[in-house]
């Protein structure tokens, strides 16, 4: 479990604002990819966060929707959603062909016919027509963008893709001020994840955008059609999503989400609860 009190202490003591260190936009190394896939296996360190995403998206996805996952990687969230919503179309977009190859392999193994992939830049997505998508999502990925202009371009692209009545859902890390706080977070992940995953997490935390930068860009592009929630006390994470619910979970979807929740360990169950409690509205 994260030592929240120590992280808060280090953040409050740090007077300086960190400078983000961009990381490569695409993950190509086979060892990194294997470690990434392992980290997102159910029961692992990301299970609570994945289930939280699924719960939130169950209020956004409607039958027969087209959903695009920007910078999807090997698609752990996309694959979960494709199983929950077999009548929907899911498109995973990423710059890394090795990542997309893993996604296609896993989709084939699960016999999912509603998943497709596109190797494209998430800032432009020329293969998709404007107004052709119902929901655009991106989780733990926007920090791979080189700079604020690219973040803004990605938001512009998402807005252009969404048809009337559609929605967006973004999640990512925020840039913590304290390097000591970031080290504590990496050390916590390293307890349950391989070294490659811990290193990738460290690079991701260093590459995160300051949350106020994300809020300004989102406000400029989406206006009041999105709300932003961030972690309390320290800028660890943010959720950016449409202000309205498009749907409600069907009885079947809710039953499967409840089963997922029941299978969580006590520690992961507490993490899931804390994800909801440790949020504040920013926009």
Average pLDDT over residues 26-32: 75
pLDDT of residue 40: 83
Residue 131's Cβ-side half-sphere holds a number of Cα atoms within 13 Å equal to 1
Average pLDDT over residues 203-219: 95
- Please tell me whether residue 193 adopts helix, strand or coil conformation: coil
Sign of CA dihedral 242, 243, 246, 248: positive
Position 227 confidence tier, pLDDT thresholds 50, 70, 90: very high
Residue 246 confidence (pLDDT) above 80? yes
Position 1 confidence tier, pLDDT thresholds 50, 70, 90: low
| Domain at 26-281, CATH from 3.90.25.10, 3.40.50.150, 3.20.20.70, 3.30.70.141 | 3.40.50.150
Count Cβ atoms below 10 Å from residue 52 Cβ, excluding itself. 18
Position 15 confidence tier, pLDDT thresholds 50, 70, 90: confident
Cα separation, 77 vs 139, in Å, equals: 8
Tokens 């830049």, located at residue? 121
pLDDT of residue 237: 95
Q: Which of 51, 117, 49 is nearest to 80 (CA)?
A: 51
173 neighbors 140 (Cβ within 8 angstroms): yes
Residue 214 confidence (pLDDT) above 90? yes
**Each residue of 49-58: pLDDT tens digit?**
999 999 999 9
pLDDT of residue 261: 96
117 neighbors 91 (Cβ within 8 angstroms): yes
Domain boundaries, the chain: 26-281
From start to end of the chain, where are the E strands? 66-70, 89-94, 115-119, 133-139, 162-173, 226-231, 237-242, 279-281
**Each residue of 165-177: pLDDT tens digit?**
999 999 999 999 9
Position 5 confidence tier, pLDDT thresholds 50, 70, 90: confident
Average pLDDT over residues 188-203: 83
Average pLDDT over residues 254-281: 93
**Each residue of 135-150: pLDDT tens digit?**
999 999 999 999 999 9
- Using DSSP bridges, classify how beta strands 226-231 and 279-281 pair: parallel, antiparallel or unpaired: antiparallel
Distance of CA 41 to the CA centre of its chain: 15
Question: For the stretch 254-283, what's the b/e string if a residue is b when 16 or more beta carbons lie within 10 angstroms of its beta carbon?
Answer: eebbeebbeebeeebbebbebbeebeeebb
Average pLDDT over residues 34-54: 87
Q: Sheet harboring 279-281: ordered strands across?
A: 115-119, 89-94, 66-70, 133-139, 162-173, 237-242, 226-231, 279-281
Mean pLDDT estimate for the chain: 93
């Amino acid at each position: 479990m994260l030592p929240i009190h120590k992280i808060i202490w280090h953040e409050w003591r740090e007077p300086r604002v960190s400078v983000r260190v961009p990381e490569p936009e695409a993950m190509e190394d086979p060892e990194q990819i294997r470690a990434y896939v392992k980290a997102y296996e159910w029961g692992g360190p990301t299970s609570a966060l994945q289930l939280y995403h699924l719960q939130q998206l169950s209020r956004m996805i409607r039958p027969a929707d087209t959903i695009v996952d920007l910078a999807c990687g090997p698609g752990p969230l996309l694959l979960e959603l494709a199983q929950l919503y077999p009548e929907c179309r899911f498109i995973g977009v990423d710059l890394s062909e090795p990542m997309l190859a893993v996604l296609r392999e896993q989709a084939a193994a699960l016999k999912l016919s509603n998943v497709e992939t596109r190797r494209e830049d998430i800032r432009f997505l020329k293969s998709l027509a404007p107004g052709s998508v119902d929901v655009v999502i991106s989780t733990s990925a926007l920090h791979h963008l080189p700079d604020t202009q690219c973040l803004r371009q990605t938001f512009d692209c998402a807005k252009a893709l969404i048809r009337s009545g559609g929605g967006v859902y973004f999640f990512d890390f925020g840039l913590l001020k304290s390097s000591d706080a970031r080290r504590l977070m990496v050390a916590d992940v390293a307890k349950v994840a391989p070294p490659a995953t811990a290193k990738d997490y460290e690079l991701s935390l260093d590459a995160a955008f300051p949350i106020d930068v994300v809020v300004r860009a989102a406000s400029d592009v989406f206006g009041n059609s999105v709300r932003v929630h961030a972690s309390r006390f320290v800028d660890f994470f943010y959720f950016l999503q449409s202000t309205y619910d498009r749907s409600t979970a069907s009885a079947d979807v809710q039953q499967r989400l409840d089963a997922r929740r029941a299978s969580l360990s006590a520690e992961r169950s507490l993490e899931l609860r804390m994800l909801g409690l440790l949020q504040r509205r920013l926009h």
